[in-house]
């Protein structure tokens, strides 16, 4: 069958120092099975996610780029279990001395079930005479039996005495590993989602809580999965053997799965989607008495427990606008003098801004919630007195609902959750260091480079990841390109309460407790219905006007203040450079003796009344230091302050990390640009010889969405165009097939 490509969206590290230990979920590599053994959809070969990716470090070590684990290239040979422990403890290899025996899930993860005897990639791991490799773990009810992976691709617990050095007849070898990442997590292994599904925090996979009511053959199991729907999702599948084995707990038996979560998994064998290599009649399975992985005839009836590919990231798909490069006259063109901080909008001065991308809406509570739970899972943040900090840091990231009811994100029971109805409202109660930590995390989620040093706050503007806009970028984007004439507000010279969330504007969210935010993009010109939004006001409908500016940006006036990257400098305009100014090197000192970052755009809470309308301080040139937060200070910290993200734009380069690609001297220069893409992507490759090629695009659900080419080509340089703009935001895969070779690259679409 046609090879499908599926993204397993897993939580990954958003920041680490050099030489520090990376922390992230255990990203299971695919099994390596590419051969199709049935016409029934759903077998292992129909999906490709986390393709096997290994790097020979040239020093006797191999790094698994999915898990981050570093392995011994040539195993240490046959020896007893006790000697294997000692061997690893004393090993010095590749300038490292922190080697150890792997756990069962770690050692099983480097199996390649597209091979056999050994079921491992001998391009990277030197083939030896090993029949088994020791793990560090003992069977729960018999410490004389050690879990070991066999060269055929299975795993089970074996007596220590079976190896030759202990008087046995079999060859048990040792392969050491070291912790390039930690596989110890700071939350419980599983979460019951309350909807018939279980989330595995260690791998990010989501599982069916209850096994199928009937046993079935392997083919029946594939068909069952293909039509199954649960918790509003229909992308369930039969797990591959690595996914299935990841549920096994070597500290349990009869059953070896956790019955506190998988309540009706009691005994028996469970099918995987993985076929025994070159044996079409047999498939891998697991027996949950102890967790032994073996294989059985596909016509037998076994249990079925389905899985889907991890955490949904739909809420992370920011819609962006490309802001064209240009120069403009920055500052107040209307002679307004702010009584709170006079003369900081003058002199009017010329600045040039390079092209960049900026989110069309402000960052939401749901988006920030996903970041917090990801960071919590990886042990990167801590909650103290209802305030969130990075571990080992004193800079506040954000406040929680338990600190004050103004904030919509709650922390309880070791997890962050929504405390109210404002999931799609702009997040408030987030400090500047929380903004930049989110930016780094979002960059990693999309395969981009991190811009910020989270200790110093320094931003590398040469990186392609997310960051806060500079003050000049924000004002240029906010003006929507209008320079003839320059406008006082984002869309006109007067303020319109039906275009923006302003103080006392009469919108249906003003009747509830603070904050009186509205959903992002709410003011789009449509008639809003209470039945769609369930707002707290009594009005059954509310007519909005289109508040988007000429670049399609919403809430550039009102709703919440938006923190920017620059320090606030009251007199900076008299010193500002022309070329892409990035603000002063330090901030203007406020009455409390501290410098603060700037913020732009106005807010729902307070402002100045002009022509009978409170404008929420939303003049497009208005500058505010984040020190001035309103007359209730310090009792309402940051409940009207949020942010939106931006990033550099360069249509001629590619910045996305490759997912998978075979090395070949016959196909060269396989490039995709721009990447991320906003509308149209160019795909380029060079053939050194004549080949039959196929060029296909897949979405993250493994669905083939378009075929760009299926043709025989002579040697030469070729370029194809993909009109990505007609598809929704997300992660896609481009597969170039040429004869028996396969090249796969990831592309991110953000419109």
Give dist(CA 417, CA 401) in Å, integer: 10
Q: Is the pLDDT of residue 585 over 80?
A: yes
Residue 11 contacts residue 378 (beta carbons within 8 Å):
yes
Residue 284: pLDDT over 70 = yes
Q: Percent of the chain having pLDDT more than 90?
A: 65
Report the DSSP beta bridge partners of residue 723.
680
Lowest mean pLDDT among 135-139, 217-221, 650-654: 650-654
Spatial CA neighbour of 219 closest among 33, 412, 43: 43
Place of tokens 């991190």: 450
Q: Mind listing the pLDDT tens digit for each residue in 48-72? A: 677 788 888 899 999 887 787 899 9
Burial class (CB in 10 A: 0-12, 13-18, 19+), 718: middle
Instruction: Please say if the pLDDT value at position 17 is more than 60.
Output: no
If you average pLDDT over every residue of the chain, what do you get? Answer: 88
Q: Is the pLDDT of residue 38 over 70?
A: yes
CB atoms within 10 A of CB 669: 10
Q: Has residue 311 got a pLDDT over 60?
A: no
Q: What beta strand segments (E) does 309-467 contain?
A: 320-323, 326-330, 349-353, 356-359, 381-384, 387-390, 396-399, 409-412, 415-418
Cα angle: 182, vertex 186, 189; to 5 degrees: 95
Longest Cα–Cα distance of the chain, Å, equals: 95
Q: Could you tell me if 584 and 594 are in contact, meaning their C-beta atoms sit under 8 angstroms apart? A: no
pLDDT of 652 reads 59
Q: What is the pLDDT averaged over residues 670-694?
A: 88
Whole-number pLDDT of residue 393:
95
- Taking the C-alpha atoms of residue 396 and residue 432, their distance in angstroms, rounded to an integer, is 8
Do 386 and 23 form a contact (C-beta atoms < 8 A)? no
Q: What is the pLDDT of residue 65?
A: 78
pLDDT in tens, 424-467: 999 999 999 999 999 999 988 776 789 999 999 999 999 989 99
Q: Specify which of 120-134, 189-203, 502-516, 678-692 reaches the highest per-range mean pLDDT.
A: 120-134
Rg of the chain over all Cα atoms, to the nearest angstrom: 29
**Average pLDDT score over residue span 247-268:** 96
b (16+ CB within 10 A) / e for 548-577: bbebebbbbbbbbbbbbbbbbbbebbeebe
pLDDT surpassing 70 at residue 268: yes
Output the DSSP codes for 337-352: --SSSTTTT-S-EEEE
Give residue 203's pLDDT band: very low, low, confident or very high (50, 70, 90).
Answer: confident
- Measured between alpha carbons, how far is 30 from 26 in angstroms, rounded to an integer? 12
Q: Domains of the chain (ranges plus CATH)? A: 56-179 (3.10.100), 190-309 (3.10.100), 320-648 (3.90.1580.10), 667-749 (2.60.40.1930)
Residue 10, pLDDT > 50, answer no
* pLDDT classification of 413: cutoffs 50, 70, 90: confident
More confident residue, 656 or 155: 155
Q: Are 639 and 515 spatial neighbours (Cβ–Cβ below 8 Å)?
A: yes
Query: Alpha-carbon dihedral of residues 131, 137, 141, 143, nearest 10 degrees?
Result: 80
Give the DSSP H or E segment for 567: strand 561-567
Confidence at 14, pLDDT banded by 50, 70, 90: very low
pLDDT of residue 409: 95
* pLDDT score for 749: 84
The predicted structure's pLDDT at residue 631:
52
Residue 3's pLDDT is 36
Whole-prediction pTM: 0.64
* Pairing state between β 387-390 and 349-353: unpaired
Compute how many other C-beta atoms are within 10 angstroms of the C-beta atom of residue 44: 29
DSSP string for 229-240 = -BTTB---BPPP
Distance between CA atoms of residues 287 and 256, nearest Å: 9
3-class SS of residue 287: strand
Concatenated DSSP letters of 541-563: EEE--B---TT----SSSSSEEE
Which of 21-25, 91-95, 552-556 has the lowest average pLDDT? 21-25
């Amino acid at each position: 069958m046609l090879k499908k490509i599926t993204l397993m969206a897993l939580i990954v590290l958003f920041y680490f120092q050099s030489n520090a230990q990376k922390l992230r979920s255990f990203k299971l590599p695919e099994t390596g099975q590419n051969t199709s053994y049935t016409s029934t959809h759903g077998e292992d070969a129909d999906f490709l996610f986390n393709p096997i990716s290994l790097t020979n470090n040239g020093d006797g070590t191999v790094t698994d780029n999915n898990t981050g684990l570093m392995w011994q290239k040539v195993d240490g040979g046959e020896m007893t279990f006790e000697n294997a422990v000692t061997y690893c403890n004393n090993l010095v290899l590749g300038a490292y001395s922190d080697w150890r025996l792997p756990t069962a899930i770690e050692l099983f993860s480097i199996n390649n079930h597209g091979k056999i005897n050994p079921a491992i990639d001998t391009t990277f791991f030197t083939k030896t005479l090993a029949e088994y490799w020791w793990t560090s773990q003992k069977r729960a009810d018999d410490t004389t039996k050690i879990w070991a992976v066999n060269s055929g691709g299975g795993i089970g617990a074996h007596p220590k005495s079976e190896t030759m050095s202990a008087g046995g007849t079999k060859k048990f070898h040792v392969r050491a590993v070291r912790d390039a990442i930690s596989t110890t997590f700071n939350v419980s292994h599983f979460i019951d989602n309350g909807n018939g599904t279980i989330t595995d925090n260690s791998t990010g996979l989501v599982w069916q809580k209850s096994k199928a009511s009937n046993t079935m053959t392997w083919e029946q199991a594939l068909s069952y999965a293909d039509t199954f729907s649960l918790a509003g999702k229909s992308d369930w599948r039969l797990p591959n053997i690595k996914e299935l084995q990841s549920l096994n707990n070597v500290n349990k038996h009869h059953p070896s799965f956790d019955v506190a979560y998988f309540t009706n998994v009691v005994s028996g064998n469970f099918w995987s989607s993985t076929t025994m290599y070159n044996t079409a009649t047999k498939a891998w399975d697991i027996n949950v008495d102890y967790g032994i992985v073996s294989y059985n005839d596909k016509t037998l009836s076994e249990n079925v427990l389905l899985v889907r590919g991890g955490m949904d990231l739909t809420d992370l798909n920011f819609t962006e606008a490309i802001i064209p490069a240009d120069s403009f006259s920055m500052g107040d063109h209307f002679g307004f003098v702010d009584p709170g901080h006079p003369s900081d909008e003058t002199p009017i001065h010329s600045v040039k801004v390079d092209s960049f991308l900026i989110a069309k809406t402000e960052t939401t509570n749901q988006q920030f919630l996903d970041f917090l739970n990801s960071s919590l899972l990886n042990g990167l943040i801590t909650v103290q007195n209802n305030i969130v900090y990075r571990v080992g840091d004193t800079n506040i990231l954000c406040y929680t609902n338990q600190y004050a009811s103004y904030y919509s994100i709650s922390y309880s029971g070791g997890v962050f959750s929504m405390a109210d109805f404002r999931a799609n409202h702009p997040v408030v109660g987030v400090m500047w260091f929380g903004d930049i930590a989110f930016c780094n995390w979002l960059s990693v989620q999309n395969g981009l480079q991190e811009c910020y040093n989270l200790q110093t706050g320094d931003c590398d503007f040469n990186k392609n990841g997310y960051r806060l806009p500079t003050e000049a970028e924000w004002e240029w984007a906010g003006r929507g390109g209008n320079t003839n004439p320059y406008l006082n507000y984002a869309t006109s010279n007067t303020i319109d309460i039906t275009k923006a969330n302003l103080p006392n504007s009469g919108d249906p969210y003003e009747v509830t407790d603070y904050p009186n935010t509205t959903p992002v993009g709410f003011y789009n010109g449509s008639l809003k219905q209470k039945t769609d939004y369930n707002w707290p006001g009594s009005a059954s409908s509310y007519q909005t006007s289109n508040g988007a500016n000429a670049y399609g940006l919403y809430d550039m006036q009102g709703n919440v203040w938006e923190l920017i990257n620059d320090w606030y400098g009251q007199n900076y305009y008299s010193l500002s450079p022309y070329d892409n100014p990035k603000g002063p090197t330090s901030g203007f000192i406020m009455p409390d003796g501290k410098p603060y970052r700037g913020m732009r755009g106005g807010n729902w809470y307070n402002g100045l009344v002009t022509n009978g309308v409170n404008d929420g301080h939303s003049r497009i040139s208005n500058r505010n230091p984040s020190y001035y937060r309103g007359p209730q200070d310090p009792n309402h910290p940051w409940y009207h302050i949020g942010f939106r993200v931006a990033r550099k734009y360069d249509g001629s380069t590619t910045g996305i990390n490759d997912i998978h690609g075979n090395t070949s001297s016959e196909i060269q220069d396989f490039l995709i640009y721009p990447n991320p893409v906003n509308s149209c992507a160019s795909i380029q490759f060079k053939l050194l010889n004549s080949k039959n090629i196929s060029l296909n695009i897949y979405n993250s659900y493994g669905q083939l969405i378009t075929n760009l080419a299926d043709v025989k080509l002579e040697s030469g340089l070729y370029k194809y165009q993909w009109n990505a703009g007609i598809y929704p935001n997300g992660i896609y895969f481009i597969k170039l097939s040429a004869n028996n070779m396969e090249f796969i690259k990831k592309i991110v679409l953000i419109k």
